[in-house]
Structure 1
Amino acid sequence: MSGAGTMMLLGELLDPVSCTVTPCARTLLERPVTGLTCDSRAVIPGSVFVAVKGQEVDGHQYVSQAVARGCLAVVVDREVETAKDVAVVMVADSRRALGHLAAAFYGYPAREMTMIGLTGTNGKTTTSWLVEGMLLAAGRRPGVIGTVNYRYLDRRGDRVVRDAPLTTPEPVRLQGLLREMADSGVTYVVMEVSSHALALERLAGLYFDVGVFTNLSRDHLDFHGSMEAYFQAKRKLFHDFLAPAGVAVVTFVPGRQDREAAGDAWGRRLARELREKGLMPFPGTGGKQSLLTCGFAPGCEVRAEEPVQDLDGLRCTIHLGRRVVHLESALIGRYNVLNLLTAAGVGLALGMEPEQIGGGLAAVRGVAGRLERVRLAGHDGQGPPGPAVFVDYAHTPDALENVLRTLRQVVSGRLVCVFGCGGDRDRGKRAMMGEVVGRLADVALLSSDNPRRENAAGIIADIEPGLQQSKMKKTDLEHLLRGRAPAGGYVVIADRRQAIQAACALAVEGDLVLIAGKGHETYQIIGDERRFFDDRLETKNALLRWSTDHLLRATGGTLSSGRRRVLLGAISTDSRTIEPGDVFLALTGEHFDGHDYVDIAVRKGATAVIVERPLPPDRQETAVILVADTLRALGDLARYRRRLLAPAVRVVGITGSSGKTTVKEMTAAIFEAWYEAVGCDPVLKTRGNLNNLIGLPLSLLRLKAEHRVAVLEMGMNRPGEIKRLAGIADPDIGCITNVQAAHLEGLGTIDGVAAAKGELFAAMRDDAVRVINYDDPLVRRLARQGGGRRIGFAVSRSGRRYHPEVRVTRVRNLGVAGMRFTLQLNDRQQRLTVPAVGEHNVGNCAAAAAIALAAGVGPDAIVRGLGRYRSGDKRLRLRRLPRGLRVVDDSYNANPASMA
């Protein structure tokens, strides 16, 4: 389809390619084309199928399937048999033809934007982010196509992000994306160009106004076969795809002879070739191609002086021709100075002013998965001192050496590295990577990466000789945990999650941990299975893993005996469920005393115990932490964990005389719909009736880095309990569903109930959101007594007159099928059916919708989530018995109001 949205005729589509069409099908040239694809499964009637031979599959074998699905024409580069009513288009190279056809089909969108292409082994992603930041700071409208994702801002300024299965998409996807960007007002496209894309002709039909070469070092030799072939693929960007007036930006370090500069010989060679081709020094003359070089040497048009750096960033002076920019960047490393220079060279090629270039580069605070610092936040910065931890995509010998050299310059203690190598890839680089790590790190944890179809143990065996060559000795984790710095060596831990946890556990303040190889990736490929796995989340969980330092800081207790540095598991208050490594917390009650079960817990493998009275000093291996009150310690542990993950995790607290569980489940269903594209489980919610001074902390203790939201019930029997629960959970959003005559034995009157429930709003932070039930006069009164932000909901006419953000009208009872009603979210109305029996559940839906709205959830997800809700056990749940008998099970009802 052309840029104007008009249907293209087959003859028009074929104009840009040299081809022959079967004579009997020439009348088909006047037929409109409905689609273009190289996947026979995607053929629709009237589309054109291009048969491309791939590494594993040859599209020519699927021509008959494409014809059967109604294609108008097939494009081939060898003879095929097909029906007479299908045009057979013969070309010299169907792969190359696909690029030209895709560009024509989408109306040549690249011609409407300034195209910037980046190629090189390392640095493409970082440079693309820097160029994007520079353009945004200058008020331009860039789109980015690269390894992490495809992204741009639409005409409304909203950020559009697409997944990136390939660094450089195949031609039809690429041209469709470019058309999408052009139609959305994008004026600059920053594209990472992979060597695969260049070798496989994905760029046919494209020309770049700026072409960039970052560097070349060993990678992808499983595909290219040799470094020379790898270079020949990269150079195509400049020889075949640079626009007539385009600028080639080439980065290198002239005159360097050490290992770091080995790859830069390729940059010098490319620059020499381009000069011999006739490219003049930038800015050139007469609209011809020109060359701009970047590096540390005086001869480069864009050059830098040596940087000054620490863990927080670098400072350096950049020379842009005759102009000078003093730059401060959050990036670190000499190789990142080269990335900054490369991006500055692009800015210069685009005609940007030095001030714009410097300001834009300084504004980029980091790049996803590229020396990305991972740390626990917390509202007040609490948490034990520990190592600095970085996640990086480095998966080649050169990249790994650059990163480790950078970190070696800023670490005061030990440098710890977790790494591995991908399966089904160049085996020759494995021992090389081992040698780099062994030479530059103090401690190495050799693990798996993406083993794919290879055996992980076999990959590790290929890496180990490199570590041994560097004279790094093999040891065991127990030795590293017990030893004092500078204890070193390497350990094999094939499970990547366990390796990351071990690295963070053995490192101490002053040490630095590098998790290398996967960076921004959110998966691990084992066999043919793609599993969710994010090094950054795993690192956060490793930093969250309980240690004696964590336990002491959370509880304020003292270590009365046992080892201080141990790997700990979960917190448990039940000796019957203890797993090896767990922490047993001995609660006391009216009819039990957990201290009586400490020995049982230890025999079952508890590595630490928390108690409120001293134990006999005969436990050398068990950490014994003494606190004043174990119940309070339980809450403090949960509060500590919650704060370490704030503000990354949003917490919702729900209380009320009835409806808590249903509103919690409805709210969780909405959040699950909102986050359904996330690969992990993003929603934590209260299980069962774990909503009191014991249950809520146990619920919060399940919190992990992958959670985006925690939806928690808060129950109580006496005054002060909700205040304590709110102090533990520190909710960002709080909802009181209603106030009714419940728990009167502990609260006396309905006003006592209201006061106890109102403790939630009173304890919340000023910036937290109170969700108000305007149908309930007592809840309205509680809302008036406190400050903070508010969002309301109402079902009744009396409640709607307060004009809350969430309103329900036109309620229709469908009996056992549920309730149908109109839900109004501010100015948006939606008619929906919720499979929840009873009119009271309409109010519960409104409460859940208001909570979600307070969290920024969109209307579509709210409606989708409510539609997915199903009644919980013993809460108006319809059950079918033999002989067609239906029973509504509402046996959980706990007070007269809920029965009503």
Structure 2
Amino acid sequence: MRLTELLTQIPGLTVQAGPTDKTIAQVTANSRAVQPGGLFVALVGKKTDGHDFIDEAITNGAEVIVTDGRTPDVPAHICVLASPDSRADYARLAAKMYPARPAILTGVTGTNGKTSVCEYLRQIWSRATWPSASVGTLGVASDIEALNSNSAQLTTPPSEQLFSLLHNLRKGGITHAAFEASSHGLDQMRLHQLAVNVAVFTNLSRDHLDWHGDMDSYFAAKAKLFFDNLLDGGTAVINIDDKWGQRLYDQLQSRDIVLWSVGVQDKADFQIISADSQHFGLDLQIKAAGQTFRYPLALSGEFQAINAVTAAAAAHASGMPLQDSFGALPYLSPVRGRMQPIRGHPAGARVIIDFAHTPDALEGALKGLRPGTSGRLNLVFGCGGDRDKGKRAEMGKIAATHADKIYVTDDNPRTERPAAIRSEILSGCPEAYDISPRDKAIQMAIAELDSEDTLLIAGKGHETSQTIGTEVLPFDDASVARHALMNLPDSRAGTGEL
């Protein structure tokens, strides 16, 4: 794209120095990722300043630099642009560089359930043979193999990655896409000018307060999806069982949109009448549009009912007939790292992997597994380092309330002392075992299972690495659990022996 064309489309950018007769091959805010002919946006973050990396960007081939008004000392052939709002212009530039979008875009936000709702929605679309994709923490899943990526990433990628990804999905034939909208992504304007047809709110509970400071600010970031990105005439699907969801629902009354509510309350547009645990998963009853539906769900945990129903409501909002969207529920498959069963215990004990890393998610997972557990409900978990410390003791208390046997271990300690993190958790569950490293805790917990027990391994879910200090080491809860099950002597299985 010609730089002169971009300048006419984004009038806030002003030329400070250098020639504008250039063809732009790329837009990025990552100096290490700059390619020849690239445009580099110097963003100011909480820990780093992109202006410190301008020289590196030029060395790697940048031809255009966008600053916050500073005039860097650069070679004469480099064009320097000033922006009054670098983050907004970064998103605008990315949107112009990669203009194609799937015809139907659904953004999903909330503390817990984003990944599951996005993937369930993709599965529902796919069953209707609508070319579809989900984008988020687990990467990209679609009906077109060449477009897929299983690599974990930021929940909401940087603007140029997100717009480029959506552009390529559309060019690849995808017509419907669901993506996770994180509070960080919304707060940092990564989604600026990205219009969505459907916006979904799952819930809000304590998380990321190290970034947002308080719950009101956290909520305000999430709400941007509905006020800044949702098109007029679009549809909002909101879990009103959550107090923050009800607050958002009330605030949106003034918008020219369709408002749909999901929950167990009688007033919900999509009401969950019951979600009973069965040997196959859940027996789900729903009321919608004056009709009552009953479906089996092959999903573990009663809280998965709200995720599944929310996804079906979002599918209906995207134009799918009600009978088809809800009729797809029995065919939903579990999502990797989300209440994922790890089979193979010789005596039949259940082992479940889940990403639950917030107080609300941990409580929901444990309460969801309790009805289907006739023996003990055991738990392996930890908390991440360099993150919200206030939730550690709270999660310990939740574990003590809802689990029978607890193994407190390491999550991603990062630059904190692992023992110090575990100590803070143990203040809320002093009777728990303190076991490090994480693989030892998982092995010990599996070795102690009886036949009717359930073990929840929580916190890391889909992750395939563990960050200790500044090192990122290979680690996968599911692989460790499978290995422990394979090496479990049949004679010990179900005895509780070590």
Distance of 1:365 and 1:162 partners within structure 2: 16
| Contact 2:116/2:335 (8 A) holds in 1 | yes
Q: Secondary structure at the match of 1:334?
A: coil
Q: Which amino acid aligns with 1:228?
A: D
Of residues 28, 48, 57, the one that matches 1:37 is 28
Alpha-carbon shift at residue 358 of structure 1 (Å) = 2.2
Distance of 1:23 and 1:464 partners within structure 2: 57
Structure 2 equivalent of residue 53 of structure 1: 44
| Contact 1:326/1:358 (8 A) holds in 2 | no
Distance of 2:460 and 2:393 partners within structure 1: 18
Q: Which amino acid aligns with 2:331?
A: A
1:496 matched to 2:419: no
Alpha-carbon shift at residue 20 of structure 1 (Å) = 4.0
Structure 1 equivalent of residue 195 of structure 2: 207
Structure 2 equivalent of residue 85 of structure 1: 77
Structure 2 equivalent of residue 144 of structure 1: 134
| Contact 2:302/2:369 (8 A) holds in 1 | no
| Contact 1:384/1:550 (8 A) holds in 2 | no
| Contact 1:19/1:89 (8 A) holds in 2 | no
Of residues 2, 11, 15, the one that matches 1:18 is 11
Q: Over residues 135-156 of structure 1, what are the superposed CA-to-partner deviations in whole Å (9 max), with x where a residue is unaligned?
A: 01111011111111212233xx
1:119 matched to 2:106: no
| Contact 1:416/1:514 (8 A) holds in 2 | yes
| Contact 1:133/1:361 (8 A) holds in 2 | no
1:319 matched to 2:287: yes
Structure 1 equivalent of residue 410 of structure 2: 448
Structure 1 equivalent of residue 255 of structure 2: 278
Distance of 1:20 and 1:176 partners within structure 2: 22
Structure 2 equivalent of residue 735 of structure 1: none
How many residue pairs are counted as aligned between the two chains? Answer: 497
Q: Which amino acid aligns with 2:203?
A: N
Alpha-carbon shift at residue 237 of structure 1 (Å) = 0.4
Structure 2 equivalent of residue 99 of structure 1: 91
Of residues 403, 408, 415, the one that matches 2:370 is 408
| Contact 1:435/1:466 (8 A) holds in 2 | yes
Q: Which amino acid aligns with 1:202?
A: R
Q: Over residues 632-662 of structure 1, what are the superposed CA-to-partner deviations in whole Å (9 max), with x where a residue is unaligned?
A: xxxxxxxxxxxxxxxxxxxxxxxxxxxxxxx
1:747-826 matches, within 5 Å, as none
1:304 matched to 2:294: no
1:457 matched to 2:419: yes
Structure 2 equivalent of residue 223 of structure 1: 211
Structure 1 equivalent of residue 57 of structure 2: 66
Q: Secondary structure at the match of 1:513?
A: strand
Of residues 233, 236, 252, the one that matches 1:245 is 233
Q: Over residues 138-183 of structure 1, what are the superposed CA-to-partner deviations in whole Å (9 max), with x where a residue is unaligned?
A: 11011111111212233xx666224232111111111111121111
Q: Which amino acid aligns with 2:268?
A: C
- Taking a change above 3 Å as real, the CA distance of residues 528 and 23 of structure 1, as seen in their structure-2 partners, is closer
1:515 matched to 2:457: yes
Structure 2 equivalent of residue 186 of structure 1: 174
Alpha-carbon shift at residue 359 of structure 1 (Å) = 2.8
Distance of 1:74 and 1:225 partners within structure 2: 32
Higher relative contact order (CA 8 A, sep 6+): 2
- Taking a change above 3 Å as real, the CA distance of residues 162 and 547 of structure 1, as seen in their structure-2 partners, is closer
Distance of 2:381 and 2:497 partners within structure 1: 23
C-alpha RMSD over aligned residues? 1.9
Q: Secondary structure at the match of 1:466?
A: coil
Structure 2 equivalent of residue 373 of structure 1: 341
| Contact 1:18/1:91 (8 A) holds in 2 | no
Q: Which amino acid aligns with 2:255?
A: G
Q: Secondary structure at the match of 2:484?
A: helix
Distance of 1:162 and 1:328 partners within structure 2: 28
Q: Over residues 274-307 of structure 1, what are the superposed CA-to-partner deviations in whole Å (9 max), with x where a residue is unaligned?
A: 01x234xxxxxxxxx2211111112111112012
* Long gaps (5+) in structure 2: none
Q: Over residues 831-885 of structure 1, what are the superposed CA-to-partner deviations in whole Å (9 max), with x where a residue is unaligned?
A: xxxxxxxxxxxxxxxxxxxxxxxxxxxxxxxxxxxxxxxxxxxxxxxxxxxxxxx
- Taking a change above 3 Å as real, the CA distance of residues 357 and 186 of structure 1, as seen in their structure-2 partners, is same
Q: Over residues 329-352 of structure 1, what are the superposed CA-to-partner deviations in whole Å (9 max), with x where a residue is unaligned?
A: 111333211112211210221121
Q: TM-score if structure 1 supplies the norm length?
A: 0.54
Q: Over residues 554-591 of structure 1, what are the superposed CA-to-partner deviations in whole Å (9 max), with x where a residue is unaligned?
A: xxxxxxxxxx7654xxxxxxxxxxxxxxxxxxxxxxxx
Distance of 1:508 and 1:363 partners within structure 2: 31
Q: Which amino acid aligns with 1:192?
A: E
Q: Secondary structure at the match of 2:203?
A: coil
Alpha-carbon shift at residue 461 of structure 1 (Å) = 0.7
Q: Highest Rg: 1 or 2?
A: 1
Structure 1 equivalent of residue 312 of structure 2: 344
- Taking a change above 3 Å as real, the CA distance of residues 22 and 497 of structure 1, as seen in their structure-2 partners, is same
Alpha-carbon shift at residue 546 of structure 1 (Å) = 3.7
Q: Secondary structure at the match of 1:109?
A: coil
Q: Secondary structure at the match of 2:428?
A: helix
Q: Secondary structure at the match of 2:351?
A: strand
Q: Secondary structure at the match of 2:161?
A: helix
Q: Which amino acid aligns with 1:238?
A: F
Q: Over residues 347-405 of structure 1, what are the superposed CA-to-partner deviations in whole Å (9 max), with x where a residue is unaligned?
A: 221121122112322211211111111112xxxxxx73142111111011100001111
1:709-728 matches, within 5 Å, as none
- Taking a change above 3 Å as real, the CA distance of residues 319 and 436 of structure 1, as seen in their structure-2 partners, is same
Structure 1 equivalent of residue 2 of structure 2: 9
Q: TM-score if structure 2 supplies the norm length?
A: 0.95
| Contact 1:16/1:100 (8 A) holds in 2 | no
Distance of 1:505 and 1:421 partners within structure 2: 23
Alpha-carbon shift at residue 24 of structure 1 (Å) = 5.6
- Taking a change above 3 Å as real, the CA distance of residues 158 and 327 of structure 1, as seen in their structure-2 partners, is farther
- Taking a change above 3 Å as real, the CA distance of residues 348 and 320 of structure 1, as seen in their structure-2 partners, is farther
| Contact 2:313/2:325 (8 A) holds in 1 | no
Distance of 1:535 and 1:463 partners within structure 2: 20
Distance of 1:162 and 1:13 partners within structure 2: 34
Distance of 1:548 and 1:137 partners within structure 2: 40
Q: Secondary structure at the match of 1:416?
A: strand
- Taking a change above 3 Å as real, the CA distance of residues 195 and 352 of structure 1, as seen in their structure-2 partners, is same
Distance of 1:20 and 1:128 partners within structure 2: 36
| Contact 2:412/2:467 (8 A) holds in 1 | yes
Q: Secondary structure at the match of 1:549?
A: coil
Q: Secondary structure at the match of 2:20?
A: helix
| Contact 1:393/1:520 (8 A) holds in 2 | yes
Q: Secondary structure at the match of 2:39?
A: strand
1:599-638 matches, within 5 Å, as none
Alpha-carbon shift at residue 116 of structure 1 (Å) = 0.4
Alpha-carbon shift at residue 309 of structure 1 (Å) = 1.5
Q: Which amino acid aligns with 2:411?
A: D
- Taking a change above 3 Å as real, the CA distance of residues 512 and 98 of structure 1, as seen in their structure-2 partners, is same
| Contact 2:351/2:455 (8 A) holds in 1 | yes
| Contact 1:325/1:354 (8 A) holds in 2 | no
Of residues 474, 477, 495, the one that matches 1:535 is 477
Structure 2 equivalent of residue 195 of structure 1: 183
Q: Secondary structure at the match of 1:305?
A: strand
| Contact 2:107/2:200 (8 A) holds in 1 | yes
Q: Bigger CA drift: 326-335 or 388-397?
A: 326-335
- Taking a change above 3 Å as real, the CA distance of residues 15 and 241 of structure 1, as seen in their structure-2 partners, is farther
Alpha-carbon shift at residue 216 of structure 1 (Å) = 0.1
Q: Which amino acid aligns with 1:506?
A: E
Structure 2 equivalent of residue 293 of structure 1: 261
| Contact 2:27/2:94 (8 A) holds in 1 | yes
